[in-house]
């Protein structure tokens, strides 16, 4: 009877322990969400004018003169059986964080060396509606500045479509729209005179890229020419160190005229450390088929509060911290469970001995 009583209580104790342990481990759920779109409902054909520099190019590459006013056109073809509305935007080119040309990004502040913005010298309709299966010409009127301009003005025209289909998330009822765009570059040039290429190191600042800690090296191309085949070699040392703590090397990039380029040096998922550092930087770029290299060395500081805040929001660092915390919690729970089992068995054995 005593043996039966002990087995019964051991079973009940085991069930309680299992329920106790399971309450600390969440149930994982997987949700599969997707959005679909029909793709572009239109195509675009540029109609290059007589002053096109290279007629083999299907983008605008125009030789202009100061004060010249000229209208160029592009034909938008609606390839569907219903009317299509297309939004149009013209912007000066900027440089993406990946070292590519971005024709669509609308910046809130442009580099101070950019004298003329393309959207300020080109007039165009902001939106058109093309009937089903039809084509429509879009006019872009260029009004060149009266002052002569060396180098190039580089930008692009984007034709944007917003898909009519919407999907709503059951959790937050937020609507999602798929956007499709067609981009056409525009290069305006007045003179064949060459400008002297130049790259400046503007700033070094700790930050994040897509939720990952980086040190942003901000470079400036302050000349009206496109730098191609750009290679950046960035090495970051402790202030008096001889071995780099972070290194980033990337080639085959471009820096657009009169723009700034934020080059990220990844910390590879490691925590941001406060302290004093030194950047050694080499930037090689090609203009007029001639490569040139610039070298920079600059000290900078990462403050303690700044590093702490970035580490808190870094997806890798916070995940590692949470995993470490979770492991400690699990170890603590297991320890308590073992102690509880031993304590219960001790009590049961003591009661069994008394009943003999």
Q: Does 260 share its domain with 348?
A: no
126, part of any domain? yes
Rg (CA), the chain: 32
d(CA 113, CA 117): 11
pTM: 0.74
d(CA 77, CA 74): 10
Q: Does 271 share its domain with 340?
A: no
88, part of any domain? yes
Which of 234, 230, 261, 231 has the alpha carbon at shortest distance from 247? 234
27, part of any domain? no
Final residue of a domain: which of 137, 156, 189?
A: 189
The pLDDT, as a whole number, for residue 354 is 65
Q: Does 182 share its domain with 207?
A: no
184, part of any domain? yes
d(CA 236, CA 232): 13
The pLDDT, as a whole number, for residue 90 is 96
Residues 6+ apart with CB under 8 A from 253: 98, 99, 100, 230, 231, 232, 261
Q: Does 184 share its domain with 113?
A: yes
6, part of any domain? no
Q: Does 278 share its domain with 327?
A: no
Could you tell me the residue range of the domain that residue 344 belongs to? 314-356
15, part of any domain? no
Q: Does 54 share its domain with 183?
A: yes
Query: Into how many domains does the chain fold?
Result: 3
The pLDDT, as a whole number, for residue 274 is 94
Domain of 227, CATH number, reads 2.60.40.10
Per-position pLDDT tens, the chain of length 356: 444 444 444 434 443 333 333 333 332 222 222 333 447 899 999 999 999 999 999 999 999 999 999 999 999 999 999 999 999 999 999 999 999 999 988 888 899 999 999 999 999 999 999 999 999 999 999 999 999 999 999 999 999 986 665 433 334 444 444 567 899 999 999 999 999 999 999 999 999 988 889 999 999 999 999 999 999 999 999 988 899 999 999 999 999 999 999 999 999 888 999 999 999 999 999 999 999 999 999 999 999 999 999 999 887 764 444 444 445 566 667 767 878 787 787 677 766 666 65
Q: Does 86 share its domain with 127?
A: yes
Orientation of helix 304-313 relative to helix 315-355, angle to 10°: 70
Q: Does 247 share its domain with 182?
A: no
The pLDDT, as a whole number, for residue 327 is 52
C-alpha distances out from residue 191 to 51, 69, 329, 354, Å: 13, 17, 70, 107
77, part of any domain? yes
Which of 43, 22, 46, 334 has the alpha carbon at shortest distance from 187? 46
Q: Does 72 share its domain with 139?
A: yes
CB 130 within 8 A of CB 83: yes
The pLDDT, as a whole number, for residue 316 is 74
The pLDDT, as a whole number, for residue 170 is 39
10, part of any domain? no
Distance in Å from the first CA to the final CA of the chain: 11
DSSP state of 172: T
Q: Does 67 share its domain with 55?
A: yes
Q: Does 66 share its domain with 153?
A: yes
Q: Does 47 share its domain with 149?
A: yes
């Amino acid at each position: 009877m005593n043996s039966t009583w002990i087995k019964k209580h051991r079973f009940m104790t085991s069930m309680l322990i299992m329920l106790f342990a399971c309450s600390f481990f969440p149930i994982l759920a997987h949700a599969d969400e997707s959005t679909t779109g029909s793709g572009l409902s239109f195509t675009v054909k540029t109609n290059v004018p007589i002053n096109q520099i290279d007629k083999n190019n299907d983008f605008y590459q125009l030789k202009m003169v100061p004060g010249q006013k000229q209208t160029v056109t592009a034909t938008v073809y609606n390839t569907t059986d219903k009317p299509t509305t297309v939004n149009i935007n013209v912007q000066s080119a900027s440089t993406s964080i990946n070292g590519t040309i971005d024709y669509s990004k609308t910046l809130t502040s442009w580099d101070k060396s950019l004298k003329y913005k393309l959207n300020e010298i080109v007039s165009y309709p902001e939106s058109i509606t093309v009937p089903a299966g039809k084509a429509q010409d879009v006019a872009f009127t260029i009004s060149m500045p009266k002052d002569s301009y060396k180098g190039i003005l580089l930008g692009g025209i984007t034709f944007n479509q917003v898909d009519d289909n919407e999907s709503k998330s059951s959790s937050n009822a937020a609507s999602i729209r798929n956007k499709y765009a067609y981009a056409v570059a525009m290069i305006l040039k007045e003179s064949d005179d060459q400008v002297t290429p130049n790259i400046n190191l503007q700033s070094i600042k700790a930050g994040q890229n897509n939720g990952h800690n980086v040190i942003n090296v901000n470079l400036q191309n302050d000349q009206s020419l496109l730098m191609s085949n750009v290679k950046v070699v960035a090495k970051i040392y402790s202030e008096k160190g001889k071995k780099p703590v972070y290194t980033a090397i990337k080639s085959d990039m471009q820096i657009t005229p009169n723009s700034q380029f934020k080059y990220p040096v990844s910390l590879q998922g490691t925590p941001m450390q406060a302290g004093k550092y030194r950047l050694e930087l080499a930037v090689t770029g090609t203009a007029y088929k001639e490569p040139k290299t610039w070298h920079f060395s600059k000290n900078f500081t990462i403050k303690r509060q700044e590093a702490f805040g970035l580490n808190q929001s870094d997806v890798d660092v916070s995940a590692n911290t949470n995993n470490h915390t979770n492991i400690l919690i699990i170890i603590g729970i297991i320890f308590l469970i073992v102690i509880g089992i031993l304590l219960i068995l001790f009590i049961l054995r003591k009661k069994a001995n008394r009943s003999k």
